[in-house]
Amino acid sequence: MPDRAIRRALRASLRRARLQLPAPARRDAAARIARQLSATGWLRPGLRIAAFISTPEEIDATPCILRAVQRGGIVFLPRVTQWRSGRMTFSPVGPRRRINRYGIPEPDTPHRLGARWMQIVLVPLVGVDAAGNRLGMGAGFYDRALEFRRWRTHWRGPLLVGIAHSIQQVDSIPAAPHDIPLDAVITELGVTLFRRPRP
């Protein structure tokens, strides 16, 4: 089976498994992940931290956002800037929001920064393997926002941290040429480091 077909089948299987999780288990996992994130020591005052507004089937990132704010972090959220080319930037959390075409709230502000200016990026995912290869929803927004990491020499840019349910961890995901691997993933069971330990 070609890699693309394997990824498509794996994405469908993992999404089904995630959707079958009962609501209490989802809430408990989100709270545990926030505690795990807080215990890493990565959250510090003044850090620029990109998070995301979860869709109904994704892990709820709200507890992680609240922990980041409590630790003095400056939280940014994704904002799609070009739908056709799949481009997005990050804008600071504020009182004004707009709803994008996926039904996801975005900050309604002219202030935007690219992912390279973040120090931590909390990344949603459908699946992640033992090497940190991430399987997303397939639109490629995060891979394009983070593509600068493919050309780095000395500077690595932000710490990329996936947050997910443990059932989303798999042994292997066929990596596509455009994929940007994660530095770590946090589930309700703990923190797995793939590359570097600190932002």
75 belongs to a structural domain: yes
Beta-carbon count within 10 A of 6 CB: 13
Neighbour-count burial for 122-151, b at 16+ CB within 10 Å, e otherwise: bbbbbbbbeebbbbbbeebbbbbbbeebee
Domain that holds residue 154: 3-193
CA distances from 23 to 80, 163, 173, 195 (A): 29, 17, 27, 32
**pLDDT over 80 (residue 60):** yes
124 belongs to a structural domain: yes
Is 79 in a helix, a strand, or coil? Answer: strand
Banded model confidence at residue 95, pLDDT cuts 50, 70, 90: confident
pLDDT of amino acid 85: 82
Q: Could you report the per-residue pLDDT of 124-137, keeping only the tens digit for each?
A: 999 999 999 999 98
pLDDT of amino acid 25: 96
198 belongs to a structural domain: no
> Per the confidence metrics, is the pTM higher than 0.85?
yes
199 belongs to a structural domain: no
What 98-102 contacts at long range (C-beta under 8 Å, 24+ apart), as own/partner pairs, is 102/55
Banded model confidence at residue 154, pLDDT cuts 50, 70, 90: low
Q: How far apart are CA 68 and CA 62, in angstroms?
A: 10
Q: What's 14's domain CATH number? A: 3.40.50.10420
Helix (H) or strand (E) holding 151: none
Count of domains for the chain: 1
